[in-house]
């Protein structure tokens, strides 16, 4: 239940911080379902803590857009309907295309080398798998490197502490897609190329297209799923 009570000398730096991570992951994986109410008393029992730290963790989740709060009525897990998903990708497109433009200007060569290592590893993983897919974790690692490479705290915070949690939640649950496509890897190579050329405009355009592609694929899936349920009913 409690993930870190092993070494009493280490002092796991704060309970509410641990709770934030645990709750966040439980929401992302769907262990706590979309739209469901978060009962403070039940969660306090489940994690074996008092309600104080728990409430603080919930307040942080509010800032991550993972739960919404209504006074005197508690908090509910966000519901990822089609509209919201597409809105998330619009926000991501705006922020991450700007991030890569900045990264192309300020990223160190050491960081660019790291990007190469990631892509090489992804190429290898693709061959070892079915030859058409790359693990989602690897995909996240790539994007996180680029985002941090922008050295823009505000953009990095917005993307990694808010938008990406929602994207992971969507991919993990609604989609069962734990992989990204071959096209994705090709586009990643193009992005690294643009960064290497120190060409912010090319980098921005390439990243924007990469994300719009992903958005389009998702939109098609959602529309098909919507039609399907209409037929079913």
Partner DNA sequence: AGATGGAAAAATGTCAACATTTACGATTTT
Partner DNA sequence: AAAATCGTAAATGTTGACATTTTTCCATCT
* The binder of DNA chosen from 7, 41, 109, 229 (CB under 7 A): 41
Q: Which does 50 bind (CB under 5 to 8 A by kind): DNA, a copy of itself, none?
A: DNA
Can residue 39 be called a binding residue for DNA (CB under 7 A)?
yes
Judge residue 212's burial from the number of C-beta atoms within 10 Å of its C-beta, 0-12 exposed, 13-18 middle, 19 or more buried: middle
Tell me how far, at minimum, the Cβ of 32 lies from DNA, in Å: 13
CA quadruple 199, 123, 169, 55: dihedral sign: negative
Q: Which residues, including other chains, have CB under 8 Å from residue 55's CB and lie 6 or more apart?
A: 40
> Which position among 32, 44, 49, 64 is part of the footprint of a copy of itself (CB under 8 A)?
64
If one asks whether residue 32 binds DNA (CB under 7 A), the answer comes out as: no
Collapsed DSSP state (helix, strand, coil) of residue 173: coil
Alpha-carbon Rg for the chain in angstroms: 20
Cα distance between residue 200 and residue 101, in whole Å: 4
Residues that bind a copy of itself (CB under 8 A): 13-14, 17, 52, 55-56, 59-60, 62-65, 71-72, 84, 87-88, 90-91, 93-95, 97-98, 102, 152-155, 157-158, 162-163, 166
Residues that bind DNA (CB under 7 A): 11, 14-16, 37-42, 49-53, 55, 69, 71-75
């Amino acid at each position: 239940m409690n993930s870190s009570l092993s070494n009493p000398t280490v002092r796991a730096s704060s309970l509410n911080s641990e709770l934030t991570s645990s709750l966040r992951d439980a929401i992302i994986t769907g262990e706590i379902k979309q739209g469901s109410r978060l009962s403070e008393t039940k969660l306090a029992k489940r994690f074996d803590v008092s309600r104080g730290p728990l409430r603080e963790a919930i307040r942080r989740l509010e800032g991550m857009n993972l739960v919404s709060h209504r006074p005197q009525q508690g908090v509910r897990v966000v519901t990822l309907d089609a509209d919201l998903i597409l809105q998330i990708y619009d926000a991501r497109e705006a922020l991450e295309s700007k991030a890569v433009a900045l990264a192309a200007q300020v990223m160190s060569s050491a960081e660019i080398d790291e990007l190469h290592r990631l892509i090489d590893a992804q190429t290898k993983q693709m061959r070892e798998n079915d030859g058409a897919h790359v693990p989602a974790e690897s995909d996240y690692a790539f994007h996180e490197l680029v985002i941090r490479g922008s050295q823009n705290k505000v953009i990095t915070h917005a993307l990694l502490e808010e938008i990406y949690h929602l994207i992971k939640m969507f991919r993990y649950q609604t989609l069962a897609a734990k992989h990204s496509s071959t096209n994705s890897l090709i586009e990643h190579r193009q992005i690294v190329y643009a960064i290497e050329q120190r060409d912010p405009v090319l980098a921005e355009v390439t990243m924007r297209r990469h994300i719009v592609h992903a958005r389009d694929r998702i939109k098609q899936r959602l529309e098909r799923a919507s039609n399907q349920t209409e037929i079913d009913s």
